[in-house]
Amino acid sequence: MKPHSIRFRLTAWYTAVLALGLIAFGLLSRVALQHILLYSVDQTLTDRVAGVRLFLEHQTGALSVEEIRDEFKEHSVLGPGGDLFQVCDARGVWLYRSVPLEDDEVAIPLPGSLPAEGLTQSLRVRASQLRLLARRVDVLGKSYTVQVAVPMDELNEGLSGFGWALVVMIPAVLVAASLGGWWMSRRALRPVDEIIDAARSIGERSLSHRLPEPSTQDELQRLSVTLNQMLDRIEGAFRRVREFTADASHELRTPVALIRTTAELALRKPRDIEAYKTALEEVHTESVRTTALIEDLLTLARADAGKAALERREVDLVSIAREVSLQAEKLAEGKNLRFLADLPATPIAALADPGALRRLLLIVIDNAVKHTDQGEIRLRVGARNGLSEIAVTDTGAGIAAEDLPRIFERFYRAEKSRNRAAGGAGLGLSIAKWIVEAHDGRIEARCHPPGGTTLRITLPQVAA
């Protein structure tokens, strides 16, 4: 067993706690047993005093002192072991003394004063331990002092034997319990070993593998479920990275191939100025598209790395929308579309990066223009329930229901509404989503049968 393993530490802690518990239990048991036995002895002594008092009530009125002594000797009213007691009157005259107590060397002295309930004490007489009860009793108007005792040697031997039994049994129980604890910890942590073995087998080429999930309804099952959910997210992230790399390579390869082919054809043989001009225009057009694509890729890369910082400050959303509307009208006129802007007369304050907000509006409006052949594009800005709202509605072909959840994915193109012919690489709405989420907002798309789409953006509003 490794000293730093969980199994070792669990067993060590279990053994330490159990050892402390057993020691505390043994000490408390020893004290409790001693208390119970002493209480029993004291009750026996109290009963013996009551027996002496009862005897005196029946005998002292008719007998002399000598006769009382003879009666004490002949009749043992105290039961077995009742030979350790002595009785004296108020003058200090002994009515009776047990034979073992007649010897002056072992005589138990009389106490000077006694409480009403008597005086109980432990005494050592010669080599014996005695438990003594001295109590004053009144019989027929006369006062007597009664002292009864019982030897404690056998009781002490029993307590000592009980203590030694604890000394022997506690280590034995501790060893057995430690072995059981080690076995239980090994059995309980076996699923952890299985999880470790399964986790070691998972690599970048086997991300589809999952950890075993024991049906125990405990922490280990929750751990396995959580780790499998994490693997799902990691696998999804790897898949998106691979798809992003493949799509980016494909998107960049096409314009680069066009630029190279155009240049090679232009240089293959001498041409007139117009032919060279046409070739350069084609190269310039593809270069512009490639530059825009690379900038979009860099924007998303910086966003993923957390380095695309936004300078958020209080801005007027209506003013920014009004500025963007001037550019949006030109985009709509290029496709013979009408552009309408419903802007409120009062300002709407928002905490945002003005440059990012302009880019967001242009991306959404440009996306609507690209996928609308006829009709109009409408921009609406408003505020409701403490949120700033932006809505861009088009009258295009719309988006299929199965494509709606994925239109914000990178390089994703719906079969009808998003294609290369429209001039999009599939990154605009991904950038728009990042800008909205960076402003603690939300963006969603909604279709309007039989045609048309609304992109709705909500941003936190700054209180006036």
Largest interatomic CA distance in the chain: 163
Work out the average pLDDT over 390-409: 82
Domain count, the chain: 3
* Residue-level pLDDT at 81: 46
Render pLDDT for 307-337 as a digit per residue (tens, 0 to 9). Answer: 666 788 888 999 999 999 988 898 888 889 9
Residue 246 and residue 272 in one domain: yes
In a domain, 106, yes or no: yes
pTM over 0.85: no
CATH number of the domain enclosing 291 = 1.10.287.130
User: With bands split at pLDDT 50, 70 and 90, how would you rate the model's confidence at 80?
Assistant: very low
Residue 452 and residue 324 in one domain: yes
Can you name the residues that pair with 445 across neighbouring β-strands? 455
Res 365 pLDDT > 70: yes
Q: Is 273 left (phi over 0), alpha (psi -120 to 50) or beta?
A: alpha
Residue 39 and residue 130 in one domain: yes
The domain of 140 spans 6-159
The answer to which of 30-39, 64-73, 75-84, 271-280 has the lowest mean pLDDT is 75-84
> Which is more confident, 447 or 69?
447
* Residue-level pLDDT at 377: 92
In a domain, 200, yes or no: no
Res 186 pLDDT > 70: yes
The answer to which of 7-11, 177-181, 214-218 has the lowest mean pLDDT is 214-218
Residue 432 and residue 363 in one domain: yes
Residue 108 and residue 45 in one domain: yes
Res 291 pLDDT > 50: yes
> Which is more confident, 115 or 45?
45
* Residue-level pLDDT at 464: 53
Sequence-distant contacts of 61-66: CB under 8 A, at least 24 apart: 61/140, 65/93, 65/95
In a domain, 45, yes or no: yes
* Residue-level pLDDT at 414: 61
26-48: b (≥16 Cβ within 10 Å) or e: beeeeeeebeebeeebeebbbeb
Residue 373 and residue 438 in one domain: yes
> Which is more confident, 441 or 416?
441
> Which is more confident, 127 or 433?
433
CATH number of the domain enclosing 148 = 3.30.450
φ/ψ of 339, rounded to 5, equals -120, 125
Render pLDDT for 198-210 as a digit per residue (tens, 0 to 9). Answer: 888 887 777 778 8
Residue 292 and residue 335 in one domain: no
> Which is more confident, 73 or 383?
383
Residue 265 and residue 317 in one domain: no
Residue 132 and residue 275 in one domain: no
In a domain, 167, yes or no: no
**Among residues 110, 127, 159, which one ends one of the domains?**
159
Res 147 pLDDT > 90: no
Report the C-alpha gap between 203 and 198 in whole angstroms. Answer: 10
* Residue-level pLDDT at 380: 93
Residue 397 and residue 296 in one domain: no
| Cβ 238 vs Cβ 211: under 8 Å | no
Residue 240 and residue 105 in one domain: no
The answer to which of 63-67, 168-172, 176-180, 354-358 has the lowest mean pLDDT is 63-67
* Residue-level pLDDT at 378: 92
Q: What is the mean pLDDT of the chain?
A: 80
